[in-house]
Amino acid sequence: MIKNPPVSVIVTTKNEEGSIERLLKSIKKQTYKNIEIIVVDNNSNDKTKEISRKYTNKVFNFGPERSSQRNYGVRKSKGKYLLILDADMELSKSVIEECVETIKKDNENGEIVIPERSIAETYWEKVKAFERSFYNLQGDSATDAARFFSRVAFNKAGGYDETITGPEDWDLPEVISKLGYKTKRIKSVICHYENIKSPLQVARKKYYYALKSHRYFKKQNISVVSPKTMYFLRPVFYKNWKRIAIHPLLSTGMSLMLFLEFVFGGVGYLIGRYTNK
């Protein structure tokens, strides 16, 4: 067994000049050093590619959506292990090292869930961070999605489903799990920089992702009425009701944001399903 097997880090971008350098710097600062960085950009008209080329010579242009970008990046990569990231993230220094050490312990380990910590400044960013805090750091079966994979497991699963946009983050790990691979979780975190100006911005994004969600639900045999699809059915909120009670300002904002996401997501799902988006 190779002591320090190569890890390919695939980053998808589109007009991310304000955040991409922060992420790439954090990858370069990893305690684990056998890393290649692959940036797959989707026709940015800002300086995303220019900034990325300061950190890697593997900068490509491909689209039209995140799933196809990720699969393309994997095809261009050489690593035994794969880490899939978004541009608005930042890695703590030991993320990759801990992922490698964890997945190497058992050949049946196929994927790793990495906890995320939201970084927020504005009120609505803090609201979203408050929501995510209920499940991201401690783990929640309804929302967890692996980002680190063995190449063997990734290829057996067929990569990301390019007919899905949004739920593909859940779909691929679920396919890998059904193939018999184990899912592990590490302690090192990814910082996720929220960039939210209003709850309507989040709701519109939910609408867009929901347009193709019917394909995911059918593929994974998931009811549209479940904790995965309806925030207000997630047990984690009720188990931690005291936290909700002692933060009334954040809780009120969270309820409004989740309600709008539910409405816009529901409309998107119905339109997508009945127009076969």
Tell whether the model's pLDDT for residue 154 goes beyond 90. Answer: yes
pLDDT score for 212: 92
Mean pLDDT confidence for 186-206: 94
Bridge partners of residue 39, in order along the sequence:
11, 59
Cα separation, 1 vs 99, in Å, equals 16
Of the pLDDT bands very low, low, confident and very high (cuts 50, 70, 90), residue 1 is low
pLDDT score for 258: 94
Tell whether the model's pLDDT for residue 185 goes beyond 80. Answer: yes
Are 109 and 102 in contact by the 8 Å Cβ rule? The answer is: yes
pLDDT score for 231: 77
Nearest partner of 56 among 83, 95, 23, 96, judged by Cα? 23
Q: What are the CA-CA distances from residue 235 to residues 167, 186, 238, 239 (Å)?
A: 20, 23, 5, 6
**In this structure, what DSSP letter does residue 53 have?**
T
pLDDT, tens only, 25-47: 999 999 999 999 999 999 999 99
Of the pLDDT bands very low, low, confident and very high (cuts 50, 70, 90), residue 135 is confident
Domains of the chain: residue spans and CATH: 7-196 (3.90.550.10)
pLDDT score for 137: 58
Tell whether the model's pLDDT for residue 2 goes beyond 70. Answer: no
Render 142-156 in DSSP notation, one character per residue: TT----EEEHHHHHH
CA angle in degrees (0–180, nearest 5) for 190-39-62 = 125
What tokens were used for 217?
A: 């639900």
Please state, rounded to an integer, the average pLDDT across all residues of the chain.
Answer: 93
pLDDT score for 166: 86
What tokens were used for 75?
A: 């095809």
Q: What are the CA-CA distances from residue 95 to residues 99, 132, 135, 159, 219 (Å)?
A: 6, 19, 19, 22, 31
pTM for the full model?
Answer: 0.92
pLDDT score for 198: 95
pLDDT, tens only, 230-265: 777 788 888 888 999 999 999 999 999 999 999 999
